[in-house]
Structure 1
Amino acid sequence: LGLEADPRTWLKIPEPLKLHRELTFWAEDSKQLFKLGQMLIEQACAQLKARRLGLMAMSFQLHHRDRGPISLISLGTQALCDQANRWCALWEEHLAKTVLRDPVLAITLCGGFAQDMPVASDCLFPGPALNRQAQTALFERLQARLGRSSMFHIVSIADHRPELAQKLFELDASKAFVDKTADHNKIVSMSGHEQTMGLPRPIWFFDQAIPITERAKRPYWQGPLALVAGPERIETAWWEGEWFARDYFIAADQDHVLYWIYRSRPSTSEQNSYQWFIQGCFG
């Protein structure tokens, strides 16, 4: 002790990125504000690249004449980003739908806390990585234009009941596939999960299964239906106090349109007979 050097690395908390610019004129339209914001974004991204940092969110504060309430415009990406062109595209989309109530005299860019950018090598030839980057940038612009609550993606749920086997999530949840109101143990990744299925599933699901009749021991819906595949038996959810027992079939009508139908099977304690339902249609 005390004979050898013992250097310690100090914990450095990154400083929040903040840039401010006073204007020498009154900015009254979005074109003027876009150019001013573009300069701040380019300056901020230059600082981020020099320090190998990235941001997932930044905001602009618009200071109005006569010291009125500050207007706030928030930008966000789905991954750490230090590219000025992507931030400028989002800035342009948000600014296009912003109504200025008063002229702007100053603008402030607040970048929050930056994080270390992952090191990635450039691709010599186009590949999946470049396609994902372009797709992510497109989704970000669509969210900025349409709103975050307007874009969803489908996530598979570990449930054999067809009406509960999928769930819509906001696009922001694409990394973890986690929803605060959902059962986290049931959520599975779309990319790493291949559901084992018996019969093919239709593209179009009805909001509610439609009860159909039976004639001459054949299901009947706008005409007699011929069973061409099946049955696929699904029995589940008895531990939840719900009897779920169905036999699924693929049926064809006289015009060779394929439907996804099932026959419900009553429990042993129930005296009612089975009932046919149509739940979807194949393309």
Structure 2
Amino acid sequence: MRRGGVQTIAPATILFDRDSGRESDALARITMATLQFSPNVAAAEEAAILIDVSTTLRLFGGPRKLRRRIIETVAAMGFSAMVGSAPTAQGAWLIARSGGGTALTMASLQSRLAGLPILTLPAARKFADWFDGLGCRTLEDLRRLPRAGLQRRCGADFLDALDRAYGEAPEIFEWAEAPPAFDAAVDLPDRIENAEQTLAYVRGLLVQMVGWLTARHLAIKRFRVELRHERGRAAIAPTAIEIALAEPNWHEEHLVRILKERLALVAVEAPMIAVAVSAIDTEPVAPPTDSLFPEPGGTPADHARLLELLSARLGADKVRQSCLRADYRPEVANDWQPATEKPARVSLPAALPRPTWLLGKPVPLIERDHRPFYGSPLHIVSPPERIEAGWWDGQLVTRDYFVAEGKDHTCYWIFQERMGSREGDESRWYLHGLFG
């Protein structure tokens, strides 16, 4: 409808000129913010954003909770979102354009698409009169038409767009990439004289920064907020607020809470016309722990309580931890004890060669040409390490340990029982461990 017609029907209507540049900027900002939900985000036609959540859906608690999170995130930036979810990106786009909703399976997607108007599909709009003449109103009607005739009349691109929606053609995307640094600004809708009143607009930039941090696997340690004043001849230097965190963080709620406290203390000299946020100091997010409990946030007390519960249910002999014994014999020094017992303090010996894998029981080796043999002749590559221990408990060992190398360059920890040992008067070779 033309401007004059609108004014005639509704004289009180306020009209604005469309600004394509601001629309593109807003779409780019929202794209950056939604990177917190998936690393695969792409801009699409008609102010749409496609988010592949196939690998992150469970992380956010399922489709409904994720849909709500996305709507809240976009709302925090000052926009409204219509969200569609489907097994195909084109199908989700069509659902979003027709009011939003969810189709979790291909069957439900086909049912949902069947009733959509043909003109929902952008490729069909230039053929609107032709389809209307055929009495073709919905996508289901369109799918009933002969494909060969449709291809001759509308072209292969038209059929490809339709097939992508139904998952019958591959979809190719150009995923968005987060820049190496974050520095974003947004103009205020009007002059604002109170710093606290800019919170909603700065929050939108923080949401955008959270998406950037997530995409780059970073946590923020220090960031800068600028409250910008007049430009031009009457330019005034921006009011800068630098916020340093005690611990690196990337959660929106935490950042907004700290910012709110800081804005309450700021007094500005002139009205503000824009706000900006820049990341000054970041560090990589700490990787998950290598322990049995990979989820962060657990305390040593939580760990101890869980071990106590498992030991009570399974038995202390079923839940064990490795420990060291003050003994030179390798098979005695490496031991296990109940997980609820505190390991004894044992000073480690000097840096002597020790294998990654110690065998539970030494394996006797054969000899060929007066050399130990284990798949191939073993070459001694270290001086001997003599161990004599166990006389006090009747388990005497008298051994000379060596590092030996096989034909394939695998290293072994072997020992030779000395003459007069408890094993007998014959000196024999044994394999006791393997090096990594």
Q: Please, what TM-score do these two structures have when normalized by structure 1?
A: 0.43
Higher RCO, 1 vs 2 (CA within 8 Å, ≥6 residues apart): 1
Query: Bigger radius of gyration, 1 or 2?
Result: 2
